Chains A and B, each alone.
Chain A
Amino acid sequence: MATYDFIFDGAGLRDWCGVKVSTGPVTMAELLAGAGKTESGSFWDKALALPFPSLDALNEACPSLARTRDLTKAVENGFLGAKDSLKVVLDPLTQPLSWLLEGALWLFDATPWWLMIPLILLLVHFASKSIQLVGFVASALLFLSFIDHYSFAMETLSIIFVCATLCVIFGVPIGIAMSRSDRMQRIMIPILDMLQTLPTFVYLIPLIFLFSVTEPKLYGIAIILYAIVPVVRLTDLGIRLVNKEVIEAADAFGMTKRQKLYSVQIPLALPNIMAGVNQTIMMSLAMVVIASLVSAPGLGVLVLRGIRNLELGVGLVAGLGIVLLAVILDRVTKAALARVNASNSVPRH
């Protein structure tokens, strides 16, 4: 008999427990137990083999009790049950994201390379005002195009472009709200911590249930949730770090809250906010590679192919392409950040 029979016998619950009827799938542990069944053995042997009183072990003694399998099944059923009503709300809300992603993918794809590359270089020049950096970006892009990775790289870039922009549009106001209210900060920080520590694959699980894998918004949401954290955090931090005396001066000269926000707090927090944007872009890039598992196009698809088909070279070259993109994005945003810092340097007391 099972180890924990005595609990239920002692509590007089035997009748409630009923007889064991095999329902649902058999676990591996049950099969193994059935194969090597030995009832004999000293007390010492039994003590060594004493199982932890977990759901499965207790179920042995009392079949009416749920097993862990039933628990995960219940979570799954609960999720599936809520799915339809959730979809009614979430689908229309997130549909614009699909359109944006499709639109950006189409735009980056439709623009011919001889227009796209100069446009990107112009943007780099505008952001960094550095000829060296423009030269580096030009050679990196030309190299990627030369080895036929141009369209993959553009797909990746277009997804990052859309997702990072949305992260900034939503993240900065959330950060501002956090900096203004301690309660808001207390609520948001655990959420941000969770988003930051949740393994990237785990994001995908509920999203796969909610949306079809063919919809771009699926990976769009995953990327935004993952990458929005730094811009929110650093906006909050940046505004809270603004020199107290300057804020006092703004108050003493009778600024309204709005005037203070737009003409003092945001300009002075800009270096921190830009550092957050840099981090957000880098994290979007990290996620867009993983999102290739749920049909996100781009360089990640090649890496995935490399793993799945053991095409070592394809995976490694695509990986190199991702590194190149990462270096480009990082250098350009850092150069822009440095320019903001230079025009905004505050003497420290």
Chain B
Amino acid sequence: MTDQVSISIRNLYKIFGSNPQDALEKVYNGASKKELMDQYRHVLGLSDINVDMHAGKITVIMGLSGSGKSTLIRHVNRLIEPTAGEIWVDGENVLDFSEERLREMRRSSMSMVFQHFALLPHRTVLDNTGLAQSVRGENKQGYEKDALKWLERVGLGGQGGQYPHQLSGGMQQRVGIARALTSNAPIMLMDEAFSALDPLIRTDMQDLLLELQDELHKTIVFISHDLDEALKLADHLVILKDGRVVQQGEPQEILLHPNDPYIVDFISDINRARVLRVRSIMMALGSDLERPIVGEVDAEDTLESVIARSGGDADQNFRVMTDGVPVGFVSMRSLVRALVPSSASAGGMRSKAS
């Protein structure tokens, strides 16, 4: 897998209001979101966003409602026009595109999955799935084979003749994903794709997405307000607050070294043992170990599974393997240390709030 940047967002600003250009000047001169609202009646949607999204990886943009995450994803395919900034997709600035070229890009190189599915209620599941192709001008024979294949793949084999309202929410979103996959675009934008589903189905869908991603290596931009979901899916995690990027990086990295009280507060609720992986806490090969090595674990194993292996014995060490090659060691002592919640969250905002 090449580590190539597919989508690059540079100095992006979005201001909602009657005269965004004037308001932008104010923002450049240091006006805050609140000042802009109180004094000029303009909403600062996004402020100085710089994000690189790598090809073949899942970039998750996370934030609470109102943080601007849905606005941000709509800039990638220009459903929303920015006030200032650049959006580079595979080496071309999307903002320079003519209407024609933009449509071409939406048809062939980007697909989108929506929170409320956004299926066409008057078309069958099969016709919905083949939407991208039919928009390109192919007839039913042209897209039927692809559409059926992807419907089968997302677990909806034999449902092609149904109408969307005859399916449950989870099944409708499977159609939404099949529709995005059938378009065969390398980039998939997923706007809170699983937020409207109930928790069990949501987990199923996340597993489905990861399974498909293992095979297809799409460039996925995923929006979520759920940290567990974000940590599970993300190769690269971007955390937004009030239209600004608070922290971005590898999820494990953010978890171990949060740089903002907002994030500390955010991560204080999660089960660290289930999310942190051995590779994040292992020691390099050749480290001095006081105690003998009792077994081998995989670098991608979660700490929870290592605890299960140790049976609760805090004196054990394990060798860490990747594809059968030893890459480091992990001791139960360092493991327990990694599970200690960040200081701020232990005595911090949550406990004050409750």
Which residue numbers of A lie inside 8 Å of B, CB to CB?
243, 245-246, 248-249, 251-256, 259, 263-264, 267-268, 343-347, 349
Contacts and interface: CB of A to CB of B under 8 A. Distances in A.
Contact of B121 (A253, A268, A349): A268
Nearest to A244: B118
A268 B112 contact: no
A13 to B, nearest CB: 52
Contact of B79 (A252, A267, A268): A252
Given A245-B116, A345-B165, A252 B135 contact: no
Nearest to B164: A347
Contacts of A248: 74, 79, 114, 118
A163 B113 CA distance: 45
B110 A252 contact: yes
Given A267-B122, A345-B121, A256 B165 contact: no
Contacts of B232: none
Contacts of B115: 245
Given A259-B135, A344-B121, A345-B165, A245 B114 contact: yes
Interface stretch (B59-67, B100-108, B208-216, B327-335): B100-108
B77 interface: yes
A330 to B, nearest CB: 25
B165 A264 contact: no
B346 interface: no
Interface in B161-195: 164-165, 183, 189
Given A248-B79, A248-B114, A249-B114, A254 B135 contact: yes
A243 B118 contact: yes
A245 B8 CA distance: 25
Nearest to A249: B118
A253 B165 contact: no
The 9 closest A-B pairs by CB, nearest first: A254-B107, A254-B106, A249-B118, A252-B112, A245-B118, A346-B121, A254-B103, A267-B122, A246-B118
B122 A268 contact: yes
Contact of B112 (A249, A256, A264): A249
A253 B132 contact: yes
Nearest to A345: B165
B131 A253 contact: yes
Interface string B69-94: 00000100101000000000000000
Contacts of A343: 122
Contacts of A345: 121, 165
A249 to B, nearest CB: 4
Contacts of B112: 249, 252-253
Nearest to B131: A253
B120 interface: yes
Interface string B48-66: 0000000000000000000
A212 B112 CA distance: 61
Interface of B: 74, 77, 79, 103-108, 110-112, 114-116, 118-122, 131-132, 135-136, 164-165, 183, 189, 196
Contacts of B107: 253-254
A168 B196 CA distance: 39
Given A248-B79, A343-B122, A346-B165, A253 B114 contact: no
Which residue of A248, A256, A347 has the most chain B CB atoms within 10 A of its CB atom?
Answer: A347
A256 B103 contact: yes
Given A346-B165, A347-B164, 16 more contacts: A245-B114, A245-B118, A248-B114, A249-B112, A249-B119, A251-B106, A252-B189, A253-B106, A253-B135, A254-B106, A254-B132, A254-B135, A268-B121, A268-B122, A343-B122, A347-B121
Contact of B183 (A243, A253, A264): A253
Nearest to A263: B120
A346 B122 CA distance: 8
Nearest to A270: B122
A323 B164 CA distance: 41
A343 to B, nearest CB: 7
A263 B107 CA distance: 16
A268 to B, nearest CB: 7
B140 to A, nearest CB: 13
A75 B320 CA distance: 99
Contacts of A256: 103
A267 to B, nearest CB: 5
Nearest to B185: A253
Contacts of B132: 253-254
Contacts of A254: 103-108, 132, 135-136
A25 to B, nearest CB: 58
29 contacts: A245-B114, A245-B115, A245-B118, A246-B120, A246-B121, A248-B114, A249-B114, A249-B119, A252-B79, A252-B111, A252-B112, A252-B189, A253-B106, A253-B112, A253-B131, A254-B104, A254-B105, A254-B107, A254-B135, A259-B135, A263-B120, A267-B120, A267-B122, A268-B122, A343-B122, A344-B121, A345-B165, A346-B121, A347-B165
A255 B131 CA distance: 10
B77 A252 contact: yes
A251 B79 contact: yes
Nearest to B104: A254
A196 to B, nearest CB: 31
A349 B164 CA distance: 14
A243 to B, nearest CB: 7
A252 B106 CA distance: 6
B67 to A, nearest CB: 19
Contacts of B135: 253-255, 259
B120 A264 contact: yes
B191 to A, nearest CB: 9
A286 to B, nearest CB: 33
A306 B261 CA distance: 86
Contacts of B111: 252-253
Which residue of B77, B116, B189 has the most chain A CB atoms within 10 A of its CB atom?
Answer: B116
A346 B183 CA distance: 24
Nearest to A349: B116
